[in-house]
Amino acid sequence: MVSNISIMNKILIAFFVLTILSSCSNEEKSNNYEVSETQPVTNEVKLASDISWEMLNPARGKKSPLAGTIWGDRKGAEPTGFLVKFIDGFSSPPHIHNVSYRGIVIKGLVHNDDSSAQEMWMPKGSYWTQPKGQQHITAAKGEENIAYIEIENSPYLVKPVSEAFESNEKPINVDITNLVWLSEQNISNIKGAAKISYLWGKPTKDSLYGTFLKLPQGFNGTIYSEGSIFRGVVIDQELEYQIPNDSIQYQLKPGSSFTSKGIAGHVINSSTESLIYIRTNGNYKVFSKKSSKVNLK
């Protein structure tokens, strides 16, 4: 059963990438703008050390994982991104959620599947989705276990299996080793040794989509973005980040994030190979060298 699911996920990913390549080609024809030093700066940074933690499921008391909101409000009625911290050996009882979510492993190992499934431990950088209404368990093992969770509507609630319902969505579990990576030989929005893996959505104008951006060791360059929504979350390793026209060098550890609205530049240095999750509704381009102007066509 697990083997068949894994094969199906790989087929879906391959089909998804082919679709992405086609849509990127069409999108590039319509994107032609410049980022300049006179562009209004909308960049913001949130450090992992500034995140406040609370119980994810207070009904479980001390057995509850901890949750720390990065953006949005998981108790409100809006899209939200937050971190979840599990103790070593954590395993939840079977349960459901009222909303679907996406998950990315930042530290440790995470298993997420229905209660009868064989354990599939996903290491950092792995990606999964959990459809609303479907019963499942979540488990974790490792000295430190942290995952990034993202929802499109709130509140995020934990409910008993007795309230399960069918959503017609299918869960996905993708180990980082099964991701498909695209380089400058495949797509034109990369200049240098960076790589992109498309996770969800379709990169068409004004449509939300999510990607991984892998930066090589020694990267010194800029991410240029145009989306009215642009959020980057550091998944693996530490980055040095600078807001344009700001002399402060921010040290972004895993769980830290940076955002912007509209046309913006994000200056980044990385001494080691690093991984960033990017959520946006516009095109973005990655250059290995700093530049004050760029044409994103």
Whole-angstrom Cα distance, residue 292 to residue 93?
Answer: 52
* CA-closest candidate to residue 174, choices 211, 128, 125, 113: 128
Q: Are 252 and 215 in contact (CB under 8 A)?
A: no
Q: Are 73 and 106 in contact (CB under 8 A)?
A: no
Q: Is the residue at 71 inside a domain?
A: yes
Determine the pLDDT at residue 215.
97
Determine the pLDDT at residue 230.
97
Specify whether 102 is located in the same domain as 8.
Answer: no
| Cβ contacts of 238 within 8 Å, gap of 6 or more | 251, 252, 253, 254, 270, 271, 272, 274
Specify whether 35 is located in the same domain as 77.
Answer: no
Q: Is the residue at 102 inside a domain?
A: yes
Measured CA distances, 209 to 203, 232, 284 (Å): 6, 12, 12
Structure tokens at 227: 């989306």
Specify whether 154 is located in the same domain as 73.
Answer: yes
- Into how many domains does the chain fold? 2
Determine the pLDDT at residue 33.
40
Choose the weakest-confidence range: 32-41, 67-76, 89-98.
Answer: 32-41
Whole-angstrom Cα distance, residue 7 to residue 198?
Answer: 18
- SS3 state of residue 211: strand
Specify whether 99 is located in the same domain as 159.
Answer: yes
Specify whether 277 is located in the same domain as 190.
Answer: yes
Mean pLDDT of 7-21: 49
Q: Which residue has the tokens 């993708």?
A: 174
The Cβ of residue 149 has, within 10 Å, a number of other Cβ atoms equal to 19
Determine the pLDDT at residue 30.
37
Domain CATH number, residue 206? 2.60.120.10
Whole-angstrom Cα distance, residue 66 to residue 44?
Answer: 25
Reported as a single tens digit per residue, the pLDDT across 187-204 is 989 999 999 999 999 888
- Looking at the predicted structure, is the pLDDT value of residue 3 above 60? no
Specify whether 100 is located in the same domain as 165.
Answer: yes
Final residue before a domain boundary, out of 158, 177, 196: 177
Specify whether 132 is located in the same domain as 188.
Answer: no
Q: Is the residue at 162 inside a domain?
A: yes
Measured CA distances, 19 to 10, 77, 234 (Å): 14, 31, 26
Q: Which residue has the tokens 């319509």?
A: 30
Reported as a single tens digit per residue, the pLDDT across 245-262 is 888 999 999 999 999 999
Specify whether 183 is located in the same domain as 39.
Answer: yes
Mean pLDDT of 2-21: 48
Measured CA distances, 98 to 64, 92, 108, 156, 169 (Å): 18, 16, 26, 7, 13
Measured CA distances, 179 to 13, 103, 214, 216 (Å): 8, 15, 12, 17
Question: Which residue segment(s) compose the domain that 80 sits in?
Answer: 65-177
Structure tokens at 203: 């990169």
Final residue before a domain boundary, out of 150, 177, 204: 177
Buried b / exposed e over 220-239, threshold 16 CB at 10 Å, is bbbbbbbbebbbbbbbbbbb
User: Which region, left, alpha or beta, applies to residue 228 given φ > 0 means left and ψ of -120 to 50 means alpha?
Assistant: alpha
Specify whether 133 is located in the same domain as 162.
Answer: yes
Query: Percent of the chain having pLDDT more than 90?
Result: 74
Length of the chain: 297
The torsion of the CA quartet 186, 228, 124, 190, rounded to 10 degrees, works out to 20
- SS3 state of residue 289: coil
Q: Are 139 and 90 in contact (CB under 8 A)?
A: yes
